A and B are shown apart, each in its own frame.
Chain A
Amino acid sequence: MWSIVFNASFITDFMAAAIRMTTPLTFAGLSCTISERSGVFNIGAEGMMLSGAFVAAVGALFTGSAWIGTGFACIIGALLGLLLAVLSITLGANQIISGVMINILSLGLTSFLSRIIMGSAITQKLPTFETWGIPFLLKIPVFGEIFFRQSPLSYISYAIAIILTFIFFKTTWGLSIRAAGENPRAVDTAGINVCLVRYICVMFSGIFASLGGAFLSVGVVRYFTENMSAGRGFIGLCIVILGKWHPLGAVLAALIFGAVDALQLRLQAFQVGIPYQFLVMLPYIFGFIAISGVVGRAQSPEAVGKPYLKES
């Protein structure tokens, strides 16, 4: 078996798959990074991703454009973010429970609606994106085609990571966001509206998660299936920890998880004698290891998970 694994075509194939697996995870990681930086756990990233995948699929189906479908996905992501914000910020509800509720709601609604809307259209492939090649870099032998010919959504995920890094550490907005996640009272006494900061971050969190979903449905497989996010939103929570609450860290962490996922798929194909159910678990087992602090601990934002209520 190992001779197969170390053969060149396996490696290029594996790396191409790893990159493909990484993009939705990157979005999930960025989604959780921005919301946790502002002090809100987004357990609902999973549901937002699933809803994003569904809405993108429906949008693409009816308009014939993957881009318009993705635009719809962003809208549903922002709305679900708004829902989480209203529950957990304005009403001060438990953030974990609010998030879980969004997940259940999304799973139920998308499964139900997909049977109604797409029941007959399931065989029809959805419109998708043209891949974008980067001139010159594309010419690098073997690796050029792997790394520099990707879906536009992948490039968007990298761009978001860079923009977020800039915002977090170089702008006054970013200072407000980081401070809101550390000590909302301090932010309040500094005359900043804590709730507004968190609302905006949680809504963007929803948008990022649903972009990851759009990548899953219209970006790769070109159809929608029930529960197709399959836990990637939850992996986002691990990615944040592994990436130490840094957007670029999240990209790297997502790449590691993507590689594990791709490896797992390949191993299944080679029939290594382990039941596939165990192989599917591999990313989650890796997630356990990642968050157990083996990789070196970073401090999470101090106030994450705690609702901020003024007069209490």
Chain B
Amino acid sequence: MPFLEMKNISKRFVDVVANDRVCFDVERGEVHTLLGENGAGKSTLMNILYGLYSPDEGEIYMEGNLVKISSPYDAIELHIGMIHQHFTLIPNLSVTENIILGLPSSSGFLLELKKAEENIDNISRKYELRVDPKSLVRQLPVGLQQRVEILKALYRNTDILILDEPTSVLTPLEVEIFFKIIRRFTEDGLAVIFISHKLNEVMSISDRITVLRGGNVVGTLKKLDTDANKLAGMMVGKEITLSLDKPSVKKGKRLLEVRGLSVNSEKGGKPLVNNVSFDIHEGEILGVAGVDGNGQGELADAIAGLQPVSKGQILINGMDVAHLSPRKRIERKLGYIPSDRQRVGLIVDFSVAQNLVLKNFCDPPFSTRRLFLSHKNITSNADQMIKEFDIKVSHGNEKVAFLSGGNQQKVILAREISGKPDVLIAMQPTRGLDVGSTRYVHQCILQHREQGGATLFISTELDEVIAISDRIGVMFEGEIMGIIPGGDRADLEQISLMMAGVREQKTKKSVS
């Protein structure tokens, strides 16, 4: 009899089946991984186990007894703890306050901060999860915030620990340390459920692996009976390769030059982008790797003109645009694919045709005398783009909100690339897309490169950055740690070190 068993769990949202009769179990002392692509239903299943969603069908058993989990409160009572992908910490409260939030105190209703701090100290010493209980959460780096999340779960005597993509905020070195901690948990008899879509991590930490695809269980395997290739095949339904067909392009003149660029934080403190310099030439892709939240977003926004520049220059074709409006920068041939396509890239309640002319509806042929819109030309432009970029939509007047993520991204690509920009900034352009759409985005960007455009390609998916880039810069806390060759010549070890904040010069063999 398994320690925890989920039987035939189904969950439907308005238009999608997130889980379809999923069965899953976990034993004490093991790491059981849920593997699958974005949208495969991993988080939904675990949110059901944690009481955040209620299942439409199915039962949950603990040690053979049927249990009903209708709120996180029930889950906590059953000693289930969950570390969410997006932390559920409160930045303006202290570590201790965050950890004891929602727990009854022995004196009834008084906060017992002193006693709690001692308890936290004991737990953090036991598992080597050092963190100062008095500091405010917002003062802590992301890695430490995650420790607070874990401490929060342990403080509640957790028997089952759910980790939802815990490594996405960690550097490769931090991941190693994190895995050591997980192993200590399983030695102590905890049951650990690990959610991930990163194959190498899954192979290194799991005891058993359940693969989900489109809300269904593809299979449950022992790690010893499988390998990364087999798992990848199960995940996507067909074998895939991540190498890109990249013809060599002659490097031309310099199109984008960034010199000493800094962006200050509104809240004060360390600049979000700190003295960043690089250049990109015709026919070149400069990749930017780094753990999420190290200033990549602010760098992209600063170049596009959405974030004020505190210091430094941004030269497009030799002309400084650092203090020009976004509009003026567009006129100087800058294209931008923002990371948040639904809020920044598109107006989702507008039609496809309208979204396609968002940047130039004031210009002929889309308006006459800069005043009257020409619907005929806007529509015919949409028809042409839909065909050219293979946007799956019945007609141009359909609302963008009804399109899938991949097709929404195609609308942005069509708008940005069809303007034939000299410089293209692509911020997380494949986030949340399926394999086919991801490949299409890559092809579009490579095509832009072949036509002599310069591209700044920012992504937190390391594999992708390495595959597509000619050169790679690594960002850490707002600074570029170094720029090294991309593609086949990329040095993964060096990138990992730089992602953890080690500068390029210092990454000789002396660092182990």
A interface residue numbers (CB < 8 A to B): 169-176, 178-179, 182-183, 185-193, 299, 302, 310-311
Contact = CB atoms under 8 A, between A and B. Distances in A.
B93 A178 contact: yes
A182 B53 contact: no
B102 A176 contact: yes
Given A175-B101, A192-B101, A311-B53, A186 B92 contact: no
B109 A173 contact: yes
Given A171-B109, A188-B52, A182 B92 contact: yes
Which 9 residue pairs spanning A and B have beta carbons closest together? A190-B102, A191-B73, A186-B88, A182-B90, A192-B102, A191-B76, A190-B101, A189-B88, A183-B90
Contacts of B101: 175-176, 179, 186-187, 190, 192
Contacts of B1: none
B104 to A, nearest CB: 7
B88 A185 contact: yes
Residue in A170, A187, A189 whose Cβ sees the most chain B Cβ within 10 Å: A189
Interface of B: 50, 52-53, 71-73, 75-77, 82, 84, 88-93, 97-98, 100-105, 109-111, 152
A36 to B, nearest CB: 14
B73 A171 contact: no
Given A176-B102, A189-B50, A190-B102, A171 B92 contact: no
Contacts of A173: 109
A134 B52 CA distance: 53
A310 B13 CA distance: 13
Nearest to A191: B73
A298 B104 CA distance: 30
B72 A189 contact: yes
B346 to A, nearest CB: 20
Contacts of B82: 189
Nearest to B84: A189
Contacts of B53: 311
Contact of A186 (B75, B89, B105, B111): B89
Nearest to B74: A191
A187 B92 contact: no
Nearest to A178: B93
Contacts of A169: 111
Given A172-B110, A190-B101, 16 more contacts: A172-B111, A173-B109, A175-B97, A178-B90, A179-B93, A183-B88, A183-B89, A186-B88, A189-B84, A190-B88, A190-B103, A191-B71, A191-B72, A191-B102, A192-B101, A302-B90
27 contacts: A170-B111, A172-B100, A172-B103, A172-B109, A172-B111, A175-B97, A175-B100, A175-B101, A175-B111, A179-B93, A179-B97, A179-B101, A182-B93, A183-B90, A186-B98, A186-B101, A189-B50, A189-B84, A189-B88, A190-B72, A190-B88, A190-B101, A191-B73, A191-B77, A192-B102, A302-B92, A310-B52
Contacts of B92: 182, 299, 302
B145 to A, nearest CB: 12
Given A190-B72, A310-B52, A172 B91 contact: no
A185 B86 CA distance: 10
A188 B109 contact: no
